[in-house]
């Protein structure tokens, strides 16, 4: 599933379109500020892909560790790990015993990036507050984000922000191909101690792994 082949966490707040309504802007600004205040993030999430016309309903669980620009995502049901030290990205496919190496921030990695769930205050979007809704016992504020660049592979994003603590709870991407890609945070912890070794692919632990360097 190429849409989660690369996972990049960027939490720097950036400007958004002047057309964004006041309430949506306030929520996104507060959430962005809150996310930037964390020294580290440890989260569990569910990633889903649905296409009602094609009767596709896929769901996979995963986890994320993040410290600064470094991150480590595990998707055990897919046999995938994505690791970055902030400059290099290692995409390890366990079943194929293969790791591809690329530079952080490279384009063309897919329409959705699970960790962009934490970067909700972005340039190039018109944002609109939709509603507050009770979800799994939490009050969630939902905001619609429409890309100003119509050439993007999706038509809109729907972001859910927990009203009480201003942590991003969900992100749904509406693909032009009819696919809905959903990321739902099931557990979230901040400022936990995380060893730097978590953010580097150690080839000595996988001596026979096949390397594909895309840099």
Q: Where are the domains positioned within the chain?
A: 2-213
Question: What is the pLDDT at residue 126?
Answer: 87
pLDDT band at 10 (very low <50, low <70, confident <90, very high): very low
Q: Are 159 and 170 in contact (CB under 8 A)?
A: yes
Tell me the mean pLDDT in the region 98-102.
91
Residue with tokens 């660049």: 149
Cβ-based neighbours of 18, under 8 Å, separated by 6 or more? none
pLDDT at 2 over 50: no
- More confident: 110 or 139: 139
Residue pair 48/182 in contact by the 8 Å Cβ criterion: yes
Compute the distance between CA of residue 135 and CA of residue 121 in angstroms, rounded to an integer: 22
Task: Compute the average pLDDT of residues 67-93.
Answer: 88
133, pLDDT greater than 60: yes
Indicate if the pLDDT at residue 18 is higher than 80: no
pTM above 0.75, yes or no: yes
What's the CA gap between 6 and 10, in Å, rounded? 13
Band of residue 5 on the pLDDT scale cut at 50, 70, 90 = very low
**Mean pLDDT along residues 37-41:** 89
Buried b (16+ CB within 10 A) or exposed e, 180-209: bbbbbbeebebeeebeeeebebeeeeeeeb
Closest CA to 6 of 77, 124, 96, 99: 99
- Region 2-213: CATH code: 2.50.20.10
First to last CA, the chain: 21
Residue 4 has pLDDT above 60, yes or no: no
pLDDT of residue 19: 54
Q: In which band, very low, low, confident or very high, does the pLDDT at 181 lie, cut at 50, 70 and 90? A: confident
Nearest partner of 215 among 28, 73, 88, judged by Cα: 88
């Amino acid at each position: 599933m190429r849409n989660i082949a690369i996972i990049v966490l960027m939490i720097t707040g950036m400007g958004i379109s002047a057309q964004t309504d006041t309430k949506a802007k306030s929520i996104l600004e507060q959430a962005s500020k809150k996310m930037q205040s964390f020294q580290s993030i440890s989260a569990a999430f569910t990633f889903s892909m649905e296409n009602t016309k094609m009767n596709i309903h896929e769901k996979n669980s995963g986890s994320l560790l993040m410290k600064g620009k470094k991150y480590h995502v595990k998707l055990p049901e897919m046999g995938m790990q994505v690791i970055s030290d902030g400059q290099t990205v290692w995409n390890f496919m366990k079943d194929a015993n293969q790791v591809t190496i690329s530079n952080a921030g490279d384009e063309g990695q897919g329409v959705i990036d699970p960790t962009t769930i934490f970067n909700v205050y972005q340039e190039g979007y018109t944002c609109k507050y939709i509603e507050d809704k009770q979800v799994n016992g939490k009050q969630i504020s939902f905001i619609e984000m429409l890309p100003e660049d119509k050439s993007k592979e999706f038509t809109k994003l729907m972001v859910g922000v927990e009203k009480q603590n201003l942590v991003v709870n969900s992100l749904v991407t509406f693909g032009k191909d009819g696919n809905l890609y959903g990321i739902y945070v099931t557990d979230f912890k901040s400022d936990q101690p995380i060893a730097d070794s978590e953010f580097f692919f150690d080839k000595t632990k996988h001596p026979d792994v096949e390397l594909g360097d895309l840099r």
